[in-house]
Amino acid sequence: MAVHGAWTLILVTLMSIWCVEPKYIIYNTTSKIVPGKLNVHLVAHTHDDVGWLKTVDQYYVGSNNSIQGACVQNVLDSIVPALLADKNRKFIYVEQATTFCIFPEMVERSENGGMCMHDEAAPHYIDMIDQTTLGHRFIKREFNITPRIGWQIDPFGHSAVQAYLLSAEVGFDSLFFARIDYQDRAKRKDEKSLEVVWRGSKSLGSSSQIFAGAFPENYEPPSNFYYEVNDDSPIVQDNMELFDYNVPQRVNEFVAAALSQANITRTNHVMWTMGTDFKYQYAHTWFRQMDKFIHYVNQVSVLQDLSYACLYLLSPAFSALSTWLSCSHLN
């Protein structure tokens, strides 16, 4: 029995050694815009409806999942430690109705800032102003932060009021949205006019304009780059001691997807919306893969002197884009 126990111990020890990664990889996620190269900005985000198929409270605590499996509390509990693990990581969160649990040190800047992401077609503009004011007041009071980016990714319709009164007038640097008519989207992709300077009021002129961008598809990642715990996109498997090592393959697929989007973009900056409805309930699965893409894509680009770079979202790029587009007289 003693001999059998000894062999069991040795076997378990050998199996443990075999499964341990031979070296600890420190991923370089430092964000830096590289002039003259295609800069791929990975924009981690979740879209958490403040009431849709379930009530606000049901969405927050994750109840009534027979209708929709969604728990905003899981998102908030998961994203905070994920962001604390690496200061280079960034995350967009919009719906202030459920952000009372976010710690002040997590907020470097804010997007949209309203209590919800209001529709632009049906609500009266007074209601749009009221809910935006309430959300911005909360952010200013609790965090002393002023939102700078409009993030209207899911409203069913768009209005000049949003572009002028609730974007340019509130001090936003830029405004992004996803939902436009499919024919309009196809035309803009052909003409490379997804990014524009939107002038919300003809009579007020340039004071009412803002840099605006429509997404190439929806507000989701490119195909095969979804990383919620139950998604089936291929991960970056970078342990050469294990089966299915695929770093070169995944880097090539990343670059191909980035170049495809660059073909419909006028500038050397493209945005990947890394998230969608109620994602990041287990944030580490997303950030682990994005860390690897940033590390390996940039590593290959430097070693082979290639013309692309990958980084977490950097807002200075939007200021540069806005200036460039304004000088180009786009509309």
Task: Provide the whole-model pTM.
Answer: 0.83
Give every CB contact of residue 148 below 8 A, 6+ residues apart in sequence: 109, 110, 111, 171, 172, 173, 174, 315
CA dist 69 and 77 (Å) reads 16
Question: Is the predicted pLDDT of residue 10 greater than 70, yes or no?
Answer: no
Question: Is the predicted pLDDT of residue 83 greater than 80, yes or no?
Answer: yes
Is position 313 within any domain?
yes
| Count of structural domains, the chain | 1
Contact 117, 166 (CB under 8 A): no
Tokens matching residue 177: 């949205």
pLDDT for res 304: 72
Is position 117 within any domain?
yes
Is position 94 within any domain?
yes
pLDDT for res 310: 78
CA dist 52 and 48 (Å) reads 9
Is position 223 within any domain?
yes
Range of the domain at 172: 25-327
pLDDT for res 292: 96
Diameter over CA atoms, the chain: 92
pLDDT in tens, 192-221: 999 988 888 888 888 888 888 999 999 999
pLDDT for res 262: 94
Tokens matching residue 199: 């002038």
Give every CB contact of residue 328 below 8 A, 6+ residues apart in sequence: 266
Question: Is the predicted pLDDT of residue 12 greater than 80, yes or no?
Answer: no
pLDDT for res 323: 52
Is position 241 within any domain?
yes
Is position 13 within any domain?
no
Q: Where residue 103 sits, what CATH number does that domain have?
A: 3.20.110.10
pLDDT in tens, 271-323: 999 999 999 999 999 999 999 999 999 998 887 766 777 778 765 555 555 55
Confidence of residue 20 (pLDDT cuts 50, 70, 90): very low
Helix (H) or strand (E) holding 210: strand 209-214
Mean model confidence pLDDT for the chain: 82
User: Strands 195-199, 209-214: parallel, antiparallel or unpaired by DSSP?
Assistant: antiparallel
What are the C-alpha distances in Å from 289 to residues 221, 276, 294? 13, 16, 9
- DSSP code for 273: E
CA dist 132 and 317 (Å) reads 25
Is position 7 within any domain?
no
Q: At what angle do helices 247-262 and 283-303 cross, to 10 degrees?
A: 80
Question: How does DSSP assign 280-314, residue by residue?
Answer: -TTHHHHHHHHHHHHHHHHHHHHHTT-SEEEEE--
Question: Is the predicted pLDDT of residue 245 greater than 80, yes or no?
Answer: yes
pLDDT in tens, 129-153: 888 888 888 888 888 888 888 888 8
Is position 285 within any domain?
yes
- Which carries the bigger pLDDT value, residue 97 or residue 299? 299
Question: Is the predicted pLDDT of residue 9 greater than 60, yes or no?
Answer: no
